[in-house]
């Protein structure tokens, strides 16, 4: 059992308790949009009593738990409340889960990204549940005039065994909501978990399968107008002028005007990325009418000069971010990256004497890997509803990072942040794209201008050509071998447009005595951003494909070779900055070896292996290919995952399967190129995505059982899928692929 002391300035508890002074809290407006059947309505409480930001309990024991983080399919709306319910000791059947809107005074870190939601909520959410439980126990102790230490709870019931007294949470909720918040509470030992570690069905399944409106793109209010934007046709271009008269008389068109997303003197935060801040907005009565006007609008564009803007630093202060001029092309990017790969770059890490190792090497293996820009291509295009009035604003849309966009909204609208309410919609995919919520500012500015509620919707072409891509990368690996074929040195040099992907302190750093890591980047006006497992999604492929080829040159089994390196990192690690646990890393490789029957001579199918550490988790994968029909296709994937305690096993497997399929699809087909600043693909007819018939027939995921606190899961299974598939393709074709997408080779 673990004792925890709250370290949140008590705001999540004291502020809410002060709201609840007097005991009675009527239901929040989050529930006012819900409609219940007659049977359900009879079960709904007449009164709600709020224990803290996350929990309110009805007089009949029904409990509402608020999920703070935005949901886009990773299932946090189920798994986060499971953490609360576990420590509250409530029967899951008595729980209603509601999506909390953005309230920074009530909830901490309402941000979905970096696979950190469960990891960072592990203690705070459980503490919220344990604190509410203790308040209920204290209320019963006061009522019964007994010591609270004599009272136990079970599935929403409060029990005093020696006197035989028993009551429900609902009967004590009113009094409990008025009591002082306990400073210290005890958290359960993992061995006592009854909810955590046991699969729970997605709480939104009924709404999903019945087609209920869950997404902002479905949102409608009476009198709402539809808006679309027109942006430059190429990166490096900007708006010069437009002829409003070309569409003013078209049916249903209300207005057309220019908007500027950011004020000129505004210092942007990390997520204020917008490829084209100056846009033309078209507003009308319906999607079809606005779409026709968008096609007919006459616009003149001009080349954008070199410019810059202020960027806020993570630790405070600002810096100037330069945007180069020019119309860039993929061919030029590739030539420049190849050129810089042959020159010294920024030193990222150096162990031992790698220069000497390569000078004295009997054999040197050198390979270069490349990958193109990738578009996020979320199934739900970017959209947002905005209702901006003179002194307040309601913004309802899909965003991963509401805490980062509210300040920007306030600045752009000229309104106090406290007067802006951001309502969180379920997202139809995120993958990092919706951390950049410029469409919310666009919708808000449009609503402010026309003084009417507006729903802004991007077309698929808008979405795919509007930036915030996965960068284009290159990496060169060099290995030095002595006369006995022993590895004596490793050198990695990575570059990219406009960032490199090298994680200098990750494996195999720490396992090689002479090690050198360098990086370079090429400035670009093409906007990039987080893409599922940023940087890792490329560098894992390059690293793991190179290790496979190196193992072959050394005459070693690829799994045995990785375990040898990790054994060195366990017994005699090199350097002090290694950011992985070599034993846990080796553990997933050993587990996938066992579960995939690696080395079984009866298995004749081509197969490849890869292992990678990112987002605090360890994953190893084996991909088996079917070549019976000539063209290799993925037959089976076996994965071993160490992400600490698994909160919701079925949901974890679902997320892992999605990550693997997404990785295979992007590895095979994902590619976005540019010609004179213009993306060469703008819709699914030419941007190839994986199809149902191309997904693995079987995905077998095994989780390491331990009591480590949970770590990331949404992203870590994604990078190894690229790499394991690359290695399997070599076994199937006899040809190694060094460039993504793999179908090009």
Backbone angles phi, psi at 17, to 5 degrees: -65, -35
Query: pLDDT per residue over 66-108, tens digit each?
Result: 999 999 999 999 999 999 999 999 999 999 999 999 999 999 8
End-to-end CA distance of the chain: 55
CB 198 within 8 A of CB 649: yes
Predicted confidence (pLDDT) per residue in 496-517, tens digit: 999 999 999 999 999 999 999 9
Position 30 scores a pLDDT of: 29
Judge whether 488 and 481 are in contact, CB under 8 Å.
yes
Q: How far apart are alpha carbons 82 and 197 in whole angstroms?
A: 9
Identify the pLDDT of residue 1. 62
pLDDT exceeds cutoff 60 at 425: yes
Q: Which domains does the chain have, with CATH numbers?
A: 2-209 (3.30.365.10), 216-308+382-457 (3.30.365.10), 544-744 (3.30.365.10)
Answer whether residue 14 shows pLDDT above 90.
no
Q: Residue 159: what are its φ and ψ, rounded to 5°?
A: -130, 130
Task: For tokens 């699809």, name the residue.
Answer: 665
Cα 57 from Cα 69, distance rounded (Å): 21
Q: What is the pLDDT of residues 711-737, one digit of tens each?
A: 999 999 999 999 999 999 999 999 999
Over residues 247-299, the pLDDT tens digits come to: 999 999 999 999 999 999 899 999 999 999 999 999 999 999 999 999 999 99
Query: 3-class SS at 590?
Result: helix
Q: For position 745, what pLDDT does the model report?
A: 67
Cα dihedral 610, 613, 619, 625, rounded to 10, equals -20
Q: Do the beta carbons of residue 158 and residue 169 sit within 8 Å?
A: yes
> What pLDDT is stored for residue 21 in this prediction?
29
Judge whether residue 27 has pLDDT over 90. Answer: no
Once rounded to an integer, what is the mean pLDDT over residues 522-538? 97
Q: What's residue 660's pLDDT?
A: 98
Which H or E run contains 207? helix 205-209
Q: What is the Cα–Cα distance from 411 to 422, expressed in whole angstroms?
A: 15
pTM of this structure: 0.93
pLDDT at residue 35, as a whole number = 44
How high is the pLDDT of residue 630? 84
Using CB atoms within 10 A of its CB, is residue 651 exposed (0-12), middle (13-18) or buried (19+)? buried
Average pLDDT over residues 425-442: 96
Question: What pLDDT, on a 0 to 100 scale, did the predictor assign at position 3?
Answer: 61
- Give the integer Cα–Cα distance in Å for 506 and 536: 10
Each residue's pLDDT tens digit, 449-505: 999 999 999 999 999 999 999 999 999 999 999 999 999 999 999 999 999 999 999
How many CA atoms lie less than 13 Å away from 484 in the CB half-sphere? Answer: 2
The DSSP element (H or E) to which 349 belongs, if any, is: strand 346-351
Q: Is the pLDDT of residue 11 over 90?
A: no
Residues in the chain: 745
Q: Which has the higher per-residue pLDDT, 26 or 310?
A: 310
What does the pLDDT look like over 660-719, one tens digit per residue?
Answer: 999 999 999 999 999 999 999 999 999 999 999 999 999 999 999 999 999 999 999 999
| Statement: residue 372 has pLDDT above 50 | yes
Between 432 and 6, name the one with better pLDDT: 432
pLDDT of residue 15: 33
Mean pLDDT (the chain) is 93
- CA atoms of 471 and 375, how far apart (whole Å): 9
Which pLDDT score, from 0 to 100, does residue 19 have?
32
DSSP per residue, 466-520: S--BBPEEEEEEEEEE-TT--EEEEEEEEEEES-----TTSTTTTS-SSEEEEEE
Q: CA separation (Å) from 540 to 311, 467, 507, 545?
A: 30, 24, 10, 8
pLDDT on residue 108: 86
Separation CA 23–CA 17 (nearest Å): 9
- Average pLDDT (373-401) is 97
**Element housing 320 (H / E):** strand 318-323
- Crossing angle of helices 649-669 and 718-733, rounded to 10°: 50
Decide which of 591 and 109 is more confident: 591
- 619 near 540, Cβ under 8 Å? no
Q: How confident is the model at residue 42 (pLDDT cuts 50, 70, 90)?
A: very low
pLDDT of residue 316: 82
Q: Three-state DSSP class for 267?
A: coil
């Amino acid at each position: 059992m673990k004792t925890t002391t709250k370290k949140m300035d008590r705001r999540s508890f004291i502020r809410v308790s002060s709201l609840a002074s007097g005991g009675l809290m009527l239901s929040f407006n989050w529930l006012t949009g819900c409609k219940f059947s007659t049977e359900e309505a009879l079960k709904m409480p007449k009164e709600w009593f709020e224990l803290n930001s996350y929990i309110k309990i009805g007089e009949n024991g029904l409990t509402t738990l608020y999920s703070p983080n935005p949901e886009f399919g990773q299932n946090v709306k189920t798994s986060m409340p499971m953490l609360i319910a576990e420590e509250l000791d409530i029967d899951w059947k008595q729980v209603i889960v509601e999506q909390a809107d953005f309230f920074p005074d009530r909830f901490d870190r309402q941000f979905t990204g970096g696979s950190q939601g469960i990891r960072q909520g592990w203690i705070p959410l459980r503490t919220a549940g344990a604190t509410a439980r203790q308040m209920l126990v204290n209320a019963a102790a006061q009522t019964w005039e007994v010591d609270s230490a004599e009272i136990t709870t079970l599935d929403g019931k409060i029990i005093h065994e020696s006197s035989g007294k028993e009551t429900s949470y609902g009967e004590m909720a009113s009094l409990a909501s008025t009591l002082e918040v306990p400073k210290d509470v005890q958290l359960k030992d993992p061995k006592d978990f009854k909810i955590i570690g046991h699969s729970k069905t997605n709480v939104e399944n009924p709404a999903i399968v019945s087609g209920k409106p869950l997404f902002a793109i479905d949102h409608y209010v009476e009198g709402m107008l539809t808006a679309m934007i027109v942006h430059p046709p190429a990166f490096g271009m900007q708006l010069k002028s437009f002829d409003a008269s070309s569409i003013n008389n078209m049916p249903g068109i209300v207005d057309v005007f220019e908007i500027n997303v950011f004020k000129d003197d505004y210092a942007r935060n990390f997520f204020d990325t917008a490829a084209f801040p100056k846009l033309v907005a078209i507003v009308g009565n319906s999607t079809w009418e606005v779409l026709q006007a968008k096609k007919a609008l006459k616009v003149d564009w001009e080349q954008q000069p070199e410019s810059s803007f202020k960027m806020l630093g993570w630790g405070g202060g600002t810096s100037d971010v330069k945007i180069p001029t020019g119309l860039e092309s993929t061919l030029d990017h590739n030539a420049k990256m190849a050129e810089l790969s042959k020159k010294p770059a920024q030193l990222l890490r150096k162990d031992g004497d790698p220069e000497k190792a390569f000078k004295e090497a009997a054999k040197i293996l050198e390979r270069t890997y490349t990958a193109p820009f990738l578009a996020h291509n979320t199934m739900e295009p970017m959209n947002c509803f905005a209702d901006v009035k003179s002194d307040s604003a309601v913004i309802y849309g899909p965003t991963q990072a509401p805490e980062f966009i509210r300040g920007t909204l306030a600045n752009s609208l000229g309104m106090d942040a406290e007067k802006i309410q951001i309502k969180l919609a379920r997202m139809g995919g995120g993958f990092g794209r919706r951390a950049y919520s410029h469409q919310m500012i666009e919708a808000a500015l449009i609503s402010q201008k026309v003084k009417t509620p507006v729903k802004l919707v991007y077309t698929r072409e808008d979405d795919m050509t509007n930036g915030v891509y996965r960068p284009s990368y290159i990496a060169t690996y060099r290995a030095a071998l002595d006369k006995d074929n022993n590895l004596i040195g490793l050198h990695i040099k990575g570059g990219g447009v406009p960032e490199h992907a090298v994680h200098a302190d990750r494996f195999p750093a720490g396992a090689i005595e002479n090690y050198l890591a360098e990086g370079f980047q090429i400035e670009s006006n093409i906007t990039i951003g987080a893409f599922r497992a940023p940087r890792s999604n490329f560098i894992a492929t390059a690293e793991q494909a190179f290790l496979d080829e190196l193992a072959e040159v050394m005459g070693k089994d690829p799994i045995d070779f990785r375990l040898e390196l990790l054994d060195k990192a366990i017994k005699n690690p090199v350097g002090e900055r290694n950011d992985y646990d070599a034993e846990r890393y080796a553990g997933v490789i050993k587990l996938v070896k066992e579960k995939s029957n690696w080395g079984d001579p009866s298995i004749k199918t081509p197969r490849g292996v890869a292992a990678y550490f990112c987002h605090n988790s360890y994953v190893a994968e084996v991909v088996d290919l079917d070549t019976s029909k000539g063209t290799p296709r993925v037959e089976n994937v076996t994965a071993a995952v160490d992400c600490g305690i698994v909160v919701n096993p079925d949901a974890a497997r679902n997320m892992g399967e999605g990550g693997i399929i997404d990785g295979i699809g992007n590895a095979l087909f994902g590619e976005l190129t540019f010609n004179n600043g213009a993306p060469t693909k703008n819709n699914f007819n030419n941007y190839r995505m994986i199809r149902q018939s191309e997904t693995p027939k079987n995905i077998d995921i095994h989780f390491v059982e331990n009591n480590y606190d949970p770590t990331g899961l949404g992203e870590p299974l994604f990078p190894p899928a690229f790499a394991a598939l690359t290695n399997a393709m070599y076994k199937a074709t006899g040809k190694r692929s060094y460039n993504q997408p793999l179908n090009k080779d």
